[in-house]
Structure 1
Amino acid sequence: MPGPTAPAGARRADRGAAGDAAPTVAPRPDGSAAGRHRGDRDPAGHPHATDWETAHRTARRAARHLPARALPLAEAIGHTLAEPLTALTDLPAFDTAAMDGWAVSGPGPWTLEPGGAVLAGHDRPSPLADGLAVPIATGARIPPGTTAVLRRERGRTVADRLRGPNPSPGADIRPRGQECRTGAGLLPAGTPVTPAVLGLAAAAGYDRLTVRPRPRVAVLVLGDELLHRGLPTGGRIRDAIGPMIGPWLTALGAEPVSVRLLGDLPAGSPGTTAGAGESTAPRTGAGARTGGSGGADTLVEELLAAADDADLVLTSGGTGAGPVDRVHPALRALGARVTVDGVAVRPGHPMLLAELPNGIPLVGLPGNPLAAVSAVLTLVAPLLHGLTGRPEPGAGTARAHLTSPVSRHPRDVRLVPVRLPAPGEAEPVGWAGPAMLRGIAVADAVAVLPPGPVPAAGRVRLLELPRP
């Protein structure tokens, strides 16, 4: 039976609660093939696996848009437009000089207007009569009566006369509204706020932007076998997921608020501590990034603490059915609603997607590094895009021809790291086992290979890799 749940923090109040939904996690048969950090399980031990396309769509649809907020331009970088950006003014707001030179009226030669140059920032320059010219700076407002701007390098002055080739009417004048008119749509909602977007918004008259904030993500890295510095020794291995997950979350538009390094915590139930004979690995290691619940002693308490100040919780490891795989028992104890319980994909079969009782989504990454990457691409990326309203890169439509055939899995989708040596070409790089990162480290994208009895060839779908 699900245990009671601790109240969510005030920051979560806008999410609603899902605690009244019946838990949908079914106990798994003991003795199924290796769990986290030890390889993906065989489909026979994972009878509820969701097909890859359905899992990808489910993750996107599971996300509720984060509440919008208005921020000063200087604070909006990295967030996502919650509303379309429309021009509050014509751009440019008046006719301006595109080059340094002379504003001229009619054909030359011209008599220089006394009184000095027209500079940027002058509000209302004097009208220019036919046959006259006046020096003008780039960006300055064009005097009424100007027919063109003669570039400085094309003209010469002798006393009060300007000579040079007659410019075409309108030459080197940026007319009012050349870029856009007031009310024109500039960018759609869902656009990431980059430095260029900030510049465009400022030019269009904005002081504040209405944005959806970067999702806050809490990460729990599980496993007694993990080392966080030095060489593998004594049957223990280096944690490869912890160092890479934060930068990838940032590249996906999220804000990793904590990456906690935990041992194989007992699943527990809310309000309990480790039982007799159970041990809890230290929550911080050398060089570890920490945050979260402080004195929590069970995975349930760690999950509650993580969800209290995050928009998404990730766990790494522990999603299998082995003796120390405690993510499923912890979710059952919480009464969480599991919507994706394993995915028919290689690597990454035992990934999962759940909703915690306070409405916060949770993604369980497998413990093998490339399997975790598969889960990031399959579940985390579309979920983050759903939270912010961002479209997925390329909308999943990018295609390329494989430069050589690649073996497929008979029942599951395969995700294979590839280089993109030329437009429209995808070169498999190898090293695609669930525990390997060598291939993904040199890859430009990941090819999605549907299941089948013969090697894949021809055009395949590509998934973009998040880049910092």
Structure 2
Amino acid sequence: MSTETAAAAAQVAAPPPAGWEEARSRVYAVGLAAALPAVERPLGDADGHTLAEPLTTRTDLPAFPTSSVDGWAVRGDGPWQVVGRVLAGHTPPPLAADGTTAEIATGAMVPEGTTAILRIEESTRTADGRVAGTPRPTPEWREPGEEAYAGEELVPAGTPVDPALIGLAASCGHDTLRVRRAPRAALLVFGDELLTSGPPGAGRVRDALGPTVPAWLRRYGCQVRPDDVVGPVADTLPAHVAALRGALADADLVCTTGGTMHGPVDHLHPALAELGADYVVNTVAVRPGFPMLLARLVDGDGRVRFVAGLPGNPQSAVVALVSLVAPLLAGLAGRPMPVLPQATLAEPIPGRGDYTHLALVRLDRAAGTAHPVRHVGSAMLRGLAGADGFAVIRPGTSGAVGDRVPLVPLPLLPGERAW
């Protein structure tokens, strides 16, 4: 397709914007349909990935009767003759006769023939060296399979891997985990008016998204290398097409900043047309951030890649990230659609008519209340720097004090819990 044809195609009247919840569902579905392949990772390298298959146990857990205390493994009635000592990591001989005992450490394998374990602090020694005391009526050891049986599913596929899951996998005998490959992302910064260093001035503004968006993407679990960030890209259609082609060669997801409207130097739509992309979402009925988009490209070999068009205004760009990129990446990782927590509004928040309003808020975790922050214009970042996420005010409504509303958390580091 020629650049002229692509530009003409991009000027065709756009469909009405998708509803915010509909857009999230749509991009999650296409992400899940294109879920990234599974790879094997050592336990120490699995944190932040997503399980590609359920975690099951390789043996019973525990695999053998395990002492819960330091004490004496006894057989029959006491006092007991000491016949040995059992330490963790060894297979002990059985207690073959009544009236015998072996000293046992916490975590050690309980000898066959044991009828009770006497805690060390509740035992005494007789004059002839025997052990005396009264064992507690409840067993002082863990039975095989008490926590799980061999082959039992402990954690389903789609679960994010965190340190607790890694520890569980190790206790089950796993050395590696089968996880989804981390998505590779790139960023293209559009706009000749942008400065990449120093203070703004003389009609030019500082690029705030070039250093910001990769950090958010990494918090969503993406791999973004320094050379995956390109820009500012010249405000011409050939430059946009070339930049997109270059980034899509390696990336699963390419984010762009700016150029999502149809102004004289907005070349994203014609560039997508020239590349043969199809829109998953083309504008969303949300404020701020309305002119966001997600497009999909499918190679001849079936490889699927995505372009997320983020608005050029910084806060609007972050709204696009939490609205479209977050559910897309959840799908690519094979995770469930993110469930939004809720909080109680501590102050009123106005609605935005037929649009969903994503309002920056600070969360009082002790009280479970959300407080609107100041400096929240679509071009501002001051409010964002002090916020925990966005309160969702649905179309045709406004938020009153005491209302329970959904919250969209800002992305955190892998493994961190937001709310």
Q: TM-score, normalised by structure 2?
A: 0.88
Which residue of 2 is the match for residue 294 of structure 1?
A: none
Match of 1:262 in 2: 231
Deviation at 1:323, TM superposition (A): 2.6
**Aligned residue identity for 1:330:** A
* Matching of residue 161 in structure 1 with residue 130 in structure 2: yes
Aligned residue for 1:186?
A: 154
Please say if residues 334 and 357 of structure 1, whose CA atoms lie closer than 8 Å, have aligned partners that are also in contact.
no
Amino acid at match of 2:11: P
Aligned-partner Cα distance in 1 for 2:400–2:355: 13
Letter in 2 for 1:385: A
Say if 1:143 and 1:27 are closer, same or farther in 2 by CA, change over 3 A: same
Give the corresponding residue for 1:96: 66
* Number of residues of Structure 1 aligned to a counterpart in Structure 2: 402
Q: Quick check: 1:408 aligned with 2:362? A: no
Aligned to 1:204: 172
Deviations 1:123-180 (A, max 9, x none): 2433253333221112110011223333333334356222344322412x11111110
| RMSD (CA atoms) | 2.6
State the Cα distance separating 1:361 from its structure 2 match: 0.9
1:120 counterpart letter in structure 2: A
Distance 2:212 2:119 in 1: 53
Matched, 1:195 2:163: yes
The answer to whether the Cα contact below 8 Å between 1:449 and 1:456 also exists between their aligned partners in 2 is: no
CA shift, 1:206, in A, is 2.3
Aligned twin of 1:451: 395
Which of the residues 12, 27, 41 maps onto 1:71? 41
The C-alpha deviation readout for 1:324-372, integer Å capped at 9, x for no partner, is 2221121122222122111111111111111135331110111111111
Determine the structure 2 residue equivalent to 1:435.
379
- In 1, distance between residues paired with 2:294 and 2:187? 14
Q: Equivalent residue for 1:355?
A: 296
Q: CA deviation at 1:432?
A: 2.3
Q: CA deviation at 1:82?
A: 1.1
The answer on whether the counterparts of 2:39 and 2:179 sit within 8 Å (CA) in structure 1 is yes
Q: Secondary structure at the match of 1:120?
A: coil
Deviation at 1:245, TM superposition (A): 1.9
Cα distance per residue 1:296-316 (max 9 Å; x no partner) = xx1111111111111111111
CA distance in 1, matches of 2:92, 2:109: 8
Residue 386, structure 1, aligned to residue 354, structure 2? no
Identity, % of aligned positions:
49
The SS at the match of 1:80 is coil
Partner of 2:51: 81
Q: Counterpart of 2:86 in 1: which secondary structure?
A: coil
Q: Following the alignment from structure 2 to structure 1, what is the Cα–Cα distance between the partners of residues 8 and 152?
A: 48
Describe the superposition over 1:401-423 as per-residue Cα deviations: whole angstroms up to 9, x where unpaired. Answer: 21111111112111112222135
- Give the Cα–Cα distance (whole angstroms) in 2 for the partners of residues 125 and 245 of structure 1: 62
Could you say which residue in structure 1 is the equivalent of 2:417? Answer: none
CA drift of 1:75 comes to: 3.8
2:24 counterpart SS class: helix
Distance 1:301 1:263 in 2: 13
Conserved? CA contact 1:65–1:388, under 8 Å:
yes
Match of 2:167, SS state, is helix
Pick the aligned partner of 2:259 from 318, 331, 339.
Answer: 318
Secondary structure of 1:139's partner? coil
Alpha carbons of structure 1 residues 442 and 59: separation in structure 2 relative to 1, 3 Å: same
Any idea what SS the aligned residue of 2:237 has?
coil
Letter of the 1:341 partner, please give it.
N
Name the aligned partner's letter for residue 325 of structure 2. V
Q: Tell me, in whole angstroms, the C-alpha distance in 2 between the residues paired with 1:137 and 1:104.
A: 13
Determine the C-alpha separation between the residues in 1 that align with 2:377 and 2:322.
16
Query: Which structure shows the bigger proportion of residues in strand conformation?
Result: 2
**Equivalent in the alignment of 1:170:** 139
SS across alignment from 1:420: strand
Residue in 2 aligned with 1:61?
A: 29
1:229 corresponding residue in structure 2: 197
Which blocks of at least 5 consecutive residues in structure 2 are unaligned?
414-419
Structure 1: gaps spanning 5 or more residues: 4-21, 30-45, 270-297
TM-score (norm 1): 0.79
Asked if 2 retains the 8 angstrom alpha-carbon contact of 1:2 and 1:332, the reply is no
Distance in 1 (alpha carbons) for counterparts of 2:8 and 2:39? 34
Letter in 2 for 1:412: Y
- Of 417-426 and 353-362, more deviation after overlay is shown by 417-426
Q: Secondary structure at the match of 1:247?
A: helix
Distance in 2, matches of 1:202 and 1:160, equals: 41
Residue identity in the other structure for 1:434: S
Aligned-pair distance for 1:198?
Answer: 2.5
Work out whether residues 228 and 247 of structure 2, in 8 Å CA contact, stay in contact via their aligned partners in 1.
no
Distance 1:304 1:403 in 2: 47
Once residues 139 and 175 of structure 2 are traced to their aligned partners in structure 1, the CA distance between those partners, rounded to angstroms, is 33
Quickly say closer, same or farther: Cα 1:128–1:443, change in 2 above 3 A: farther
Aligned partners of 1:24, 1:89: CA distance in 2, in Å? Answer: 64
CA distance in 1, matches of 2:346, 2:309: 34
Relative distance call for 1:354 and 1:118 in structure 2 (3 A) is: same
| C-alpha separation in 2, matches of 1:76 and 1:390 | 15
CA distance in 2, matches of 1:299, 1:353: 16
Change (3 A) 1:308 1:51: same
Whole-Å separation in 2 of the counterparts to 1:220 and 1:360: 15
Change (3 A) 1:264 1:213: closer
